[in-house]
Amino acid sequence: MTTLSEAYRNAPVASHQITPLDFDSLDRVPESHIWSQSDEPQQNIQSQEPQELSIPVIDLTDPNALDLIGQACKTWGIFQVINHGVPLALIKKVESESRRLFGLPTDEKHKVLRSANGATGYGTARISPFFDKCMWHEGFTIMGSCVEDANVLWPHDYKNFCETMDAYQNEMKLLTHKLLHLMLQTLNLTQEEMNWAISAQDSQAALQLNSYPSCPNPSNAIGLAPHTDSLLLTVLHQGGANGLEIFVEGLGWSPVNPVDGAFVVNIGDLLHILSNATFQAVNHRAMVNQAKQRISVAYFHGPPVESVVAPSSSFENPCFRSMLVKEFISLKAKNFHKALSMIRK
């Protein structure tokens, strides 16, 4: 079985583009991290006046949840979810363990630096090579067990970290299945297509811990540059701090304000393809602030990488050609935002 991390092996990232800035004791933003203004709305690093977007906050126990979710996927490609069943104490623990990791001295974190053709460990965002400027961000990627890296970081005390990340990944798996079940019911899929997206034996997942250190000049910096997520679905815990923004045609960049205890759910490229572009793959980014470090935790869920992704057979006019999931992952890793248009019919 090919795994997600093996699928990334075909698209190595140059070693010098993997190491995040040493953010400790910086009192100004270095030239390498200064993003300039652009007239192009998508590239504009400043947010417009905050727009009151009506991105829904959906209660999973609401009898109308199905309709609300279907509507949100079609209109926005993103929504927030409450009463999701994930214990708040576990979410807080994941956040505090993430802070413990990113709070380690730089040379300690470098011991678990992602390798050039690796997918897990400490490092910059995978999309970094597509931008001239660097991001005000450091990340840690987990796929399955994190014992190997945690054991390097805390030889005598790695259990807390691993048990927390394992428990959280289990909860995320249940939640993504529950959410996909609701989302896909609005699409008339065959049972086989449902199984492929939700619970196939070799389905793949990744947990991405993100840290955005406090920034001396946030209006010149960017935490995570604009992108769409590549897999089917992302469930994001964004702590209590603002930073996540989505791009809405005609409105520009608008914040997704954190709601206590809620997860942000967003559609990735593969679900956009399966839904024949009925569900939006939302373009999003993360901004930084001067006051404090922001932590976010993203869980990405995808189908088996050896399987085929295509628009559902319920669509008479498929607008994407079919391909292996691993081919799409590699296409995206090499061509970034052009990948979807490259497979359009």
Ligand X SMILES: O=C(O)CCC(=O)C(=O)O
> What is the CA angle 279-282-288, rounded to 5?
160
Catalytic choice (28, 100, 294, 344): 294
Q: Which is nearer to Fe ion, 95 or 229 (CB)?
A: 229
Cβ contacts of 278-281, under 8 Å, gap ≥ 24? 278/73, 278/74, 278/187, 279/73, 279/74, 279/77, 279/183, 279/187, 280/73, 280/74, 280/75, 280/76, 280/77, 280/78, 281/77, 281/228, 281/229, 281/340
Among the residue ranges 148-156, 212-220, 221-229, 254-262, the one whose residues contact Fe ion (CB under 5 A) = 221-229
Nearer to ligand X, 144 or 318 (CB): 144
What the block records as the tokens of 80 is 């927030």
Is 294 a residue of the active site?
yes
- Show the site string, 83-102: x = touches Fe ion by CB under 5 A, - = not: --------------------
Give me the residues that bind ligand X (CB under 6 A), please: 208, 210, 224, 229, 236, 238, 243-244, 284, 286, 296, 298
Nearest approach in angstroms of CB 126 to ligand X is 9
Q: Does 229 bind Fe ion (CB under 5 A)?
A: yes
Write down the least CB distance from residue 230 to ligand X, Å: 9
Nearest to ligand X of 198, 222 (CB atom)? 222
Residue among 229 and 269 whose Cβ is closer to Fe ion: 229
Q: Are strands 57-59 and 78-82 parallel, antiparallel or unpaired?
A: parallel
Nearer Cβ to Fe ion, position 215 or 224? 224
Which one of 58-66, 98-106, 136-144, 226-234 is the stretch in contact with Fe ion (CB under 5 A)? 226-234
Give which of ligand X, Fe ion, none residue 296 binds (C-beta under 5 to 8 Å, depending on kind). Answer: ligand X
- Residues touching Fe ion, count (CB under 5 A): 1
Output the residue with the shortest Cβ distance to Fe ion. Answer: 229
Distance CA 321, CA 306 (A): 16
Quote the CA–CA distance of 316 and 123 in Å, as a whole number. 43
- Residue 141 contact among Fe ion, ligand X, none, beta carbon within 5 to 8 Å by kind: none
Helices (H), the chain: 4-7, 65-75, 88-102, 106-109, 147-153, 159-185, 191-198, 269-274, 325-335, 339-342
**Concatenated DSSP letters of 53-69:** ----EEETTSTTHHHHH
Contact residues toward Fe ion (CB under 5 A) are 229
Q: Which residues are catalytic?
A: 294
